[in-house]
Structure 1
């Protein structure tokens, strides 16, 4: 295949399954769900299981709770049909109060419930009852759609003749459930004035509402009226108990329950659980525990709900270990926790990252045949995300419609976080889109993680949509997120968009902190927009931030490249006017002029600062000297150097600047003159000087002089650097000239060498053509690491040497050893190997390595691509 441009495919990261227990997966052809094995011993190995099989296992468990009854069929019609009337009518349903209540109890969402309630109310021969109205009101209340309920009740009161049920009862009941007990009481008063009264059911709904709204005086009055009318039932003492508990009259509540018990009137488990819950809320855990144990031993009332409430309260108080211990004790006595109790335990353990115990509870639920509900399924999804099994979580998410999985906000956040950590950014965006459709916006942490991933991956259009979605919900991204977004836009050459973000967010003063100015100034400088870069530099100072040398350099270079050098002098004048004369800023401008290759501009800055009475310091002069050297104005550099020498004896730093500058400018002869001069004065040049001299001499092919410099370097007592060794390694691999010069200088006599020269001698002799010797191939990198700390540049050269000689298998082995040692191959590492395979016409191998290179986010050089296309087209 011919390659015209790189087409990278997303790398799929293989995940390690975080389970300390083993799932026994049966044959994929089996129709039975695979069972769980008992927990293995702690030393058992964590297995890598097929995510598809694990997802399939949990899919079967989730689906087991969705029985295909008529209620499931109705739920499916209501959720999938925008106009479900026709489909519902075809079912031939016999509507009754009991049937409608069951249908409503099977709905998870408000809209399907309202659709069915409306449809049922219009069917011939059926009329809604107080119980069905109460059920729909509770559904609206749980969804906190109080406004919708009140609007509906107002419409209901206008059309009283259309409803055959007790009109006033329904209104009182509805306003009570909606939390409008004042309206409900007004309606109740009108009824009494007209000689009407509520029935027992509505009385108790009203009482419960008054308790919830803490209208305790009115509760006591109505309780007396209920008793006088003989309308008391099993709910009456429960509401009385609830009222006492909400008033924190716990001693009276305990006396009341004991009075009922002694009077033989009977008490319910619900009343016991309310008292236990109230004691826990009042932080009286010892009394609550005593109460639980006492009534548990008496065995007069069912304790299942009380145990679940006790466990729940322990969890909320952070006593998770006590809750777990109590659970195990009572389970041994036959207690089966309610689903909400399991869910609370699982969620609490998940927050504490106690994943092993979460797994145990999931296994218990399956063994006890407890069907998972929506919260359980969401907790399982969070568990897989936390356990590093994101592929399993994603597959369950993809099956959400089939298994009736309705994600909550927490599950969406965990899934987005896990997908971003896995590098599956596109999948995370897909989940985000679904989350927004369901009305969930990511939490702060998920928002930050997703935004960071989008900015890091350069998916700026998606980032823009994320920010827009946040603003639509009146959520303002944090300054950290804004700074990352602005930085990413600037790096992508979209500095204008970055500059508009503070205005878009209407938080200019807050967003444009110091890092934001850095990104914007660099971004506009790279776009050659010197006017904006300069404006932002001044704006940054007005905001109380001090620009760095690099920022001044970027602005000055930009202005010089666009021919606006006069603007640099204007900037200098502004700086001198804005504050006390500052030599440091003048130095920054001279440095910028030097990097822009405009030493005359630097000289003008120097003259103006002198005219303003700002005396140049030694750093100012060094910067001017570097400016001449960078611009290859060697005559001016030498004159300036001589002027400095007239003022003061030249220092080691001054020599270093001259030597390094001349080497970089390829004036090696002049650099050597200064090196000889500094050594005659018994001054020791910097390590950087030696590195540049050796590199420059190697480029010029003067290996005899390289050897002299190396011998002098050894006398200086400095430690050899990786840079020097890499240069020597490169040129010993290229030819034998360095080795020959080394031997001719007398350094070939190993016995006469000291430690440093011995290492250099071994390095040069080992790799001067030694790459071609077979016995050196097995431990190539080990030989190098004996003399200096190898880096990825070193390994790339070793790979290059191997590929040049056609030893591709050895090169691949070395690549693997590099990775095993913790080094990260870069673009050139892959390119060297691919180029080697192309050179030796191993096209398929080159193609395989190229695909891996794309997956790592690297692309071959055009030289390698051209070679690959050439051998591919020529067969």
Structure 2
């Protein structure tokens, strides 16, 4: 009889593919062809005769006699479990029969177990799994895995790790990563030994395909289950962390691996050093480097480079240079990255000469400096104040054919501006514009400097040029120009720029608002400052400590110190701000400006009680206020406290103390402090010199004042208007009119123009010495300069003419004063009545007006 069998299309395509490529059976091959049996049909299943003892393996069975059912094939395969070749040939025959392997694959699983248990046939099991995995129509890897487990347990094969590792490997080859992961997890669940190379291959493939999170999860499971892994496993996961910038996680992996007893290789040590350097964990990097050397490995040039760069970044040049020498002694060559980094390290420590020496040695190392090298050296020269050398290096770079960029040009511009060489900076700036390299950072540097120097017209022109050249201003650009206008009282202009931000798609930040708030306070407009603060908060921008301190300082400056103190208390209680020394200093300064010394001292005590240590500004502010209020003894007590706390006095602290002593005419104490300044290595500033000269003049020691003036000039401190006015006043009082006239001429020659106080000093001095006509010429000079003389000047001249008996001119000056809209004061009428200017009629003491 002939059986009706299903079509061949029900055979899994992956088996057909495998058959066509590797297992085709020739009809003429006696070893693979099944002959028509010559013996009687096989005995029934309950027969004790071995089914393979009959001629099933070498004859073509008649479908009426033999049905290739799953169980039958399994039985036959099991009977040849010790003969993999026969089992393999039988499976080849059976799988081509219709009706075989419809949906279940137990024979396939049995065959895999038979093959894998034979060292000579394991390659066939891998080949079968490879073709299974490459087919789109085969069962899922989970089905195969479970089938292998079931057959292994049912037929006493056990769970040989090889076949399961082969299965994972085949899934990976076919890029069936999800199947590989499923098998991987299933092996863990069944405690089947995972081969470390297979595990590492899977993790590496996951990382390369961007499935870092999955790889990390698998690694976590591996570690938590105590599964064996090696340094390669750790290396793969660390590189995955590096790819995603997870440096802390990479360090954690490294530390866990060391704690887990993983033996590191050179690659993992190098990776560990790199990660530690990126995290600026130099101690860990150096420890790993030492372990690496103790293990017999020579660190690579890249490893040395990484750790040298990290040491330079931390400012540890001693260690960086030692490692450089070690790198060279191990046979590595100096590279440009290390050389450039060391140059940067040198100049950051102010050792520009060593940076330049290393630059000159590049040729000896066979290295050619690149743009980065030049950029580092040029910035180093500028940072260390040697802009001439920076310019030479810049020109050398251009001669080498290396084009400049915005970074280099910005470094040069900042260098020139730092020493107020605007013309040179503008030359570089114009060159950058012409070459098209000028970016917003270059423009910002120029604009910020011009704003700082009060050259707002030039700053505006530069801004207009930036916009015209298509450079889009950033919020930093706006903050710079707004700050410049605020600092110079141009609040309307500052607000105009502020209003442009929305249309430029820029959002004001806390810096912007803080600048505007400070600007309003500087103008004395506390209401608008507070409104701007409210606008900032309503915009969802949280004030910073700087903002709060700006508000407290501003309120203190406009006479609202008590309100500022209450505000500070509310802010601190609300947890919005931790009080700082700056906050208390502003309150102390505000109370002192309001002549409320007791409140200032109360704030000082509150500050100390709250655990905040006063700084040099605190003491200087208090000492200055106490000296001005004639509390010099209390000021000296604070000075002693300051010294007991080992707080070093700065030039401002010395200046306020010296000024206080000079105003008390205690020139001995003032001179002692002046000498102390020189002993501690502080250079006296202009304020100190002016205070000392004024003090000596007040005690009629003109000679000492002139000696100080010569010393000041020798020290390179330029005289200002106050210096000249003070000295001219002293010389006129001393009767040295010619010398006073020479100083006045010298002052004009330096472009220093006299003000009301200078003219008052001249008129008063000349009149007192009987030179009323020369004094009157000073009055005429003021007319020519469209300056209105003060009542004090008229009083001085009227008294002078009275003294000479020229009453007509005295009364004419009185009438002229009225015509000028000046109102005569009590001193005027005293002169007209008594005919002379009283000694205290100046109203400012016998010295020059302050």
Specify the TM-score bucket, using the shorter chain as the normaliser. Answer: 0.3 to 0.5
Q: Which has the higher contact order (CA 8 A, sep 6+)?
A: 1
Larger Rg: 2
Give TM-score scaled by structure 2 length: 0.41
Give TM-score scaled by structure 1 length: 0.40
